[in-house]
Amino acid sequence: MILIYPPVAKPSEPPAGIAKLCGALNHHGMKYRVLDANLEGLLSLLKTPPVSSDTWTSRALRHLSRHLDSLHGWDAYPGSRKFPGSSREDECAHRLAGMSPHRDVDQELRPLPVGLHQDDGRYRRAIKDLSRLLEMTGRSSRVRLGLANYQHEELSPTRSTDLVRAAENPEDNPFYPYFRKRLTELLKKEQPSIIGFSLNYLSQALCTFAMIGFLKQEWTGVKLVLGGGLVTSWMRNPYWQNPFKGLVDHLVAGPGEASLLSLMGVLQFGDNHFWPNYDSFPVRDYFAPGPILPYSSSSGCYWNRCSFCPERAEGNPYIPIPVEEVVSDLLRLVDRHKPVLIHLLDNAISPSLMKAISEHPPGVPWYGFARVTRHLTDLDFCLALKRSGCVMLKLGLESGDQAVLDDLQKGINLEEASSALKNLKKAGIATYIYLLFGTPPESLIEARRTLEFVVKHHDCIGFLNLAIFNMPIYGPEAQQIETKTFYEGDLSLYTSFDHPKGWSRPLIRQFLDKEFKRHPAISSILRRDPPVFTSNHAPFFVMKER
């Protein structure tokens, strides 16, 4: 079996979904190979001179290896400075001796000067030049290509007919020269009976189908399996009908371990939790100063109440791994791969897991999504999180208006949010705050309250993500509001709607561009955001070199 992660997705860390499949296959002694065609494909295109060039592109190509080196080292990341007297070995020794892994308490507890004295020029230049090279390479295929972007001028990843077209014409894909050679060599050598694709983002869809089309033409007889987050969302649509018959042999919704194992003839596997396995990935080659280890301690969401949440709309159940197993998984994975950062992928890390990690630190920095809960209003809890290695929490605040939050059933109290932000700052944990504009209960008045809240807490906010609300197409709320087709595709996950307060997308954009983003306290937060990689690289902007 060969498991493939197709282009294009941020190439900063190995794909966690495939690592879980590897864990399950290993457990049952199955042979497999992994191909991160995203990382390899992007590197291959970056090294191929674009057909047409200009001064900027030629210079970007000349500086390519320097840019790649700087993204693989620490110096380009503005937050990173050598932490005197600290090393991973120090921490492990403390951990093994049953002590908390803090080093110099003064340094540890001092809030990092996020955004101050930062020189991110090298980082930004590297990202700009790499993006330029990809953009110029994609042009001849009519694709707007980037490190996390793939937009075809005509073909849409939300139309099944366009995905089938991409499969019928794989040679039109800019990655074709790479994957034709790579897949041909790999298939000749491995002679697999099954090839699985993990499709998680819209930016991967057209390339996935181009690769599927190539395999279908050249390697008849190999079973093609397609799973991943995006495929799961498609298949959760109550009106789903498979438009890829004859092209894909098996489509898998949800975790793919059971389906793959049964395809391989393993029918008895219980409900085991399989350890993710990263042995087959080039963990040091990703665009980061060292290996990032993604880890998911649950699927679904323990809160699962926010109205308009896609997780909830899709009916994905909350399935956590017991916290003791998570703690031991993390220790084992850290020991094996020596990551510089753990990325917890949960939709919301549960307070019980945060507590367990505080008591049994993994020995390396970590970050992830959490909910704003009363736990974060306890300074000691935040300090313990910091000592356990927490460098950043991503928090879905969504709004600075209490009535909007209540209507969305976010379970967030703004006074608690204020206290949490202040405590996290005191503890030295950076925050990446997610705001959502244009939800049905919001109007300009409430959006201005969000602006006020952010301005009032600007010194506690490390980074900001601003999004305009999309209505999940099959959620219960979409049935109650006048909706229209949004992306005009049969695979669209969202629908546009008539906002009950007339707070339409053009008005929201105008407010964001002319008012919200222009506020000096907010614009300086927005300027900090790492381009393209955003929250995936933000921890490196606030943490020290290990």
Structure tokens at 62: 């000349």
Structure tokens at 311: 């997780």
Spatial separation of the C-alpha atoms in residues 66 and 357, rounded to whole Å: 37
Residue closer to ligand SF4 by CB (options 259, 299) is: 299
Residue closer to ligand SF4 by CB (options 305, 456) is: 305
Residue closer to ligand SF4 by CB (options 387, 394) is: 394
**For tokens 């191929």, what's the residue?**
48
Spatial separation of the C-alpha atoms in residues 260 and 251, rounded to whole Å: 11
- What secondary structure letter does DSSP report for 297? S
Asked whether the beta carbons of 207 and 44 are under 8 A apart, the reply is no
**Alpha-helical regions (H) of 28-115:** 37-46, 55-62, 64-72, 88-96, 105-109
Closest contact distance (angstroms) between CB of 470 and ligand SF4 is 13
**For tokens 């994905």, what's the residue?**
316
Residue window 261-300: x/- pattern of binding to ligand SF4, with contact defined by CB under 6 A: ----------------------------------------
Closest contact distance (angstroms) between CB of 494 and ligand SF4 is 15
Judged by CB under 6 A, the residue of 8, 306, 321, 334 near ligand SF4 is 306
Size of the site for ligand SF4 (CB under 6 A): 12
Question: Is 347 among the residues that bind ligand SF4 (CB under 6 A)?
Answer: yes
**For tokens 């034709």, what's the residue?**
180
Question: Is 348 among the residues that bind ligand SF4 (CB under 6 A)?
Answer: yes
Structure tokens at 524: 């300086």
| Residues numbered 351-410 forming contacts with ligand SF4, rule: CB under 6 A | 371, 396
Residue window 309-338: x/- pattern of binding to ligand SF4, with contact defined by CB under 6 A: x-xx--------------------------
| Residues numbered 193-252 forming contacts with ligand SF4, rule: CB under 6 A | none
**For tokens 């057909």, what's the residue?**
51
**Which 3 state secondary structure label does DSSP give 431?**
strand
How far is CA 385 from its chain centroid?
A: 22
**For tokens 């600075």, what's the residue?**
400
Closest contact distance (angstroms) between CB of 318 and ligand SF4 is 9
- Angle subtended by helix axes 176-190 and 37-46, to nearest 10: 130
**For tokens 């703004």, what's the residue?**
414
Residue closer to ligand SF4 by CB (options 105, 467) is: 467
Residue closer to ligand SF4 by CB (options 294, 363) is: 294
Residue closer to ligand SF4 by CB (options 99, 467) is: 467
Task: Tell me the window of 33-41, 302-310, 332-340, 377-385 that interacts with ligand SF4 (CB under 6 A).
Answer: 302-310
Residue closer to ligand SF4 by CB (options 342, 436) is: 436
Spatial separation of the C-alpha atoms in residues 389 and 365, rounded to whole Å: 4
Task: Tell me the window of 138-146, 260-268, 308-316, 515-523 that interacts with ligand SF4 (CB under 6 A).
Answer: 308-316
Residue closer to ligand SF4 by CB (options 304, 402) is: 304
Spatial separation of the C-alpha atoms in residues 7 and 68, rounded to whole Å: 18
Residue closer to ligand SF4 by CB (options 371, 499) is: 371
Judged by CB under 6 A, the residue of 77, 303, 367, 511 near ligand SF4 is 303
Residue closer to ligand SF4 by CB (options 167, 301) is: 301
Structure tokens at 32: 């497999």
Spatial separation of the C-alpha atoms in residues 146 and 10, rounded to whole Å: 9
Closest contact distance (angstroms) between CB of 332 and ligand SF4 is 27
| Residues numbered 496-535 forming contacts with ligand SF4, rule: CB under 6 A | none
Residue closer to ligand SF4 by CB (options 86, 495) is: 495
Asked whether the beta carbons of 346 and 528 are under 8 A apart, the reply is no
- What secondary structure letter does DSSP report for 82? B
Closest contact distance (angstroms) between CB of 277 and ligand SF4 is 26
**For tokens 């791969």, what's the residue?**
337
Closest contact distance (angstroms) between CB of 150 and ligand SF4 is 26
Structure tokens at 162: 């366009």
Task: Tell me the window of 307-315, 322-330, 336-344, 387-395 that interacts with ligand SF4 (CB under 6 A).
Answer: 307-315
Judged by CB under 6 A, the residue of 9, 301, 390, 391 near ligand SF4 is 301
At residue 436, what is the residue type?
L
Asked whether the beta carbons of 307 and 408 are under 8 A apart, the reply is yes
Residue closer to ligand SF4 by CB (options 196, 310) is: 310
Burial 45-73 (b: 16+ CB within 10 A, else e): bbeeebeeeeeebeebbebbeebbebbee
Task: Tell me the window of 260-268, 304-312, 413-421, 486-494 that interacts with ligand SF4 (CB under 6 A).
Answer: 304-312
Among 128, 172, 166, which residue's Cα sits nearest to residue 147? 128
Question: Is 472 among the residues that bind ligand SF4 (CB under 6 A)?
Answer: no
Residue closer to ligand SF4 by CB (options 23, 310) is: 310
Contacts of 342 (CB under 8 A, 6+ apart): 292, 293, 294, 295, 330, 334, 362, 364, 365, 366, 367, 389
Task: Tell me the window of 82-90, 140-148, 182-190, 303-311 that interacts with ligand SF4 (CB under 6 A).
Answer: 303-311
Task: Tell me the window of 56-64, 212-220, 238-246, 301-309 that interacts with ligand SF4 (CB under 6 A).
Answer: 301-309
**Which 3 state secondary structure label does DSSP give 425?**
helix
Residues near ligand SF4 (CB under 6 A) are: 301, 303-306, 309, 311-312, 347-348, 371, 396
